[in-house]
Amino acid sequence: MTTGLTYSQYVTQIATMAVVPETDPNYIAILPQMITYAENRMCRDLDFLSTQVSRTYTLTSGTNQLAIPTGDFVTTQTITVGPSNTPVLPVSKTFIQNVYSTNTGAALPQYFAMYGGDLTTTGNTSSNIVFGPWPDSNYTITVTGTTRPASLSATNTTTFISTYLPDVMIMASMIYISAYQRNFGRQSDDPAMAQSYEGQYNALLKSALVEEVRKKYEAAAWTSYSPSPVATPTRG
C-alpha cells in the first residue's frame, strides 16, 4: 500500500489534475483556503477519533459558571467533576436556571448546560458552562471533545488526513478548485465523465465514515467490526 501525501506531493497532484502550473500565483494564493475547505469538510463529515482531546479546568466555589476558550473545542462530549471524575449529565439551561438559581444547597455538581459565549478583553471568545448544584468547593473539571487539527502546509508537511485519507482530501480539494475555475458541473462539460468530484467525494466518504465509527466501537451492535452484508440478525 502506498503512503499518504506530503504537502509538496499534494500541491503537485492538485495542480496536475486542475491543469495549472504549480508556480501560478493565483494557484498559490488559493492553496491555503482550498486546504482549509477540504480539511474542515472532512472533519465535520467524519468526526475523527484522532481529533478528540481532554482538558482540565477549575470550577471555583461561589460560582456555577465555567468559561473555556472557544478554541479549546469544536464540540464538547463529556464532562466530569472532582478527583473521582464523576460524570455530570447534560440538561437544558432552563432546568439549571429554575432548579439551581442560587447557591442554596451547594454540593458536588450533577448537571451541566452550555450557555453560549462571551467576548473577553483580549478579543477571544469563550464558551460558558453552567453547573447545578453550585459547587461547595473548588473542583477540577475535565472536559472531552473534538478539536480542529493543524492544517497541511509548507511547514506542517504531513497530517492525519493527508497520511491516511489522501484520496478523500484530493476529491474535496478538487471540488473547491473546480468552483474557483467556474467549473462546478464537470458532468455537463464532459458527458463521458462517470461522476463529478462531488459524487466521488461522497462515494469515498461512505467507506471512511464506516472506518471512523468502527474505531469508536459505534459500528453494528456497538462493535468495531465492519457491517456484515449477510449476518442476520445483527449482534446486540
Q: CB neighbours (10 Å) of residue 127?
A: 19
Kindly indicate the confidence band of residue 193, based on its pLDDT and cuts at 50, 70 and 90. Answer: very low
Reading the block at residue 234, the C-alpha cell is 445483527
232 burial (CB, 10 Å; 0-12 / 13-18 / 19+) is exposed
Predicted TM-score of the model (pTM): 0.80
Q: What is the average pLDDT score of the chain?
A: 86
Model pLDDT for residues 220-236, shown as the tens digit of each residue: 778 888 777 666 665 55
pLDDT of residue 3: 75
Q: Is the pLDDT of residue 179 over 80?
A: no
Model pLDDT for residues 47-84, shown as the tens digit of each residue: 999 999 999 999 999 999 999 988 899 999 999 999 89
Taking the domains of the chain in order of start, what are their residue ranges? 7-48+149-222, 52-146
Average pLDDT over residues 88-94: 95
pLDDT of residue 123: 54
| Beta strands, E only, 93-232 | 111-119, 125-132, 139-146
Please answer whether residues 54 and 185 qualify as being in contact, where contact means their C-beta atoms are separated by less than 8 angstroms. no
Reading the block at residue 47, the C-alpha cell is 468526526
